[in-house]
Amino acid sequence: MERHTVIANWKMHGNQAEGVALARGVRRLLGNRFPAVEVVLAPPFTSLETVRRAIKGSRLHLSAQNLHWQPQGAFTGEVGADMLRDAGCSHVIVGHSERRRLFGETNGDVGRKLAAALDASLKPVLCIGETLRERRDGRTRQTLSAQLSGALKGVSKSVKDCLILAYEPVWAIGTGTNAAPAQVMETHGWIRQALVRRFGAAQARHIPILYGGSVNPANASELAAVPEVDGVLVGGASLDHRSFVEIVNAFSGREA
């Protein structure tokens, strides 16, 4: 990997003024430091434009949290990939566990969304992860395999510069319970080998695999030390610009 990636997923938090203040705080503290870390902000849809203006001319990237697989049409409440590009997005989160669990998104839905993102030259951040029951039942790899197969079906092998994976164990998201380093290392290693089998070693080694699940400044350095962790997808801790930049700093000192 040439660099690490740290993504702030603000979820459904903050109005436009709060989003701008948070983005400006990150921009100010980040400055030109930590050049080996790609930093991405994912505000709610309503704040995309104002955050885009707040980070214009900086090294920060803008991401959406979701998209529809159709470019346009009678899909009330949905947003297409071209609309996100027009709003200034370079990235989009696809298949987050909350979308799967709360809104019934299937592996097929996620695959269609990922394809739509790639077609629009957006970089998808593909989220995969197992529930606590699936882990206890020994079905982690089975679950991840199904999620990967469903999302990557029909995707070409030339994806090394346009795909990010995020492993987010559902049982660790927002719970304050982080997966143990050994668990993260084992699962990320298995994901890497799954990518090798699908895309070949030359392509697979360039696809970042992030960890997401109660990431905070207290555990960021420990996560950064785990092999195959190429960055993190940060939820609650990204709502404070100081905490978020601390997490970025944790990944700046590790050789890519």
How would DSSP label each residue in 15-33? -HHHHHHHHHHHHHHHTT-
96 is annotated as an active-site residue:
yes
Distance CA 255, CA 216 (A): 21
Rg (the chain; Cα; Å): 17
Q: Which two tokens stand for residue 239?
A: 């709502």
- Point out which residues pair with 126 in neighbouring strands: 94, 165
Which entry of 96, 134, 228, 241 is annotated as an active-site residue? 96
Which entry of 98, 134, 168, 228 is annotated as an active-site residue? 168
Which residue has tokens 């090294």?
Answer: 59
Phi/psi at 165 (5° precision)? -105, 145
Residues annotated as catalytic (active site), given as ranges: 96, 168
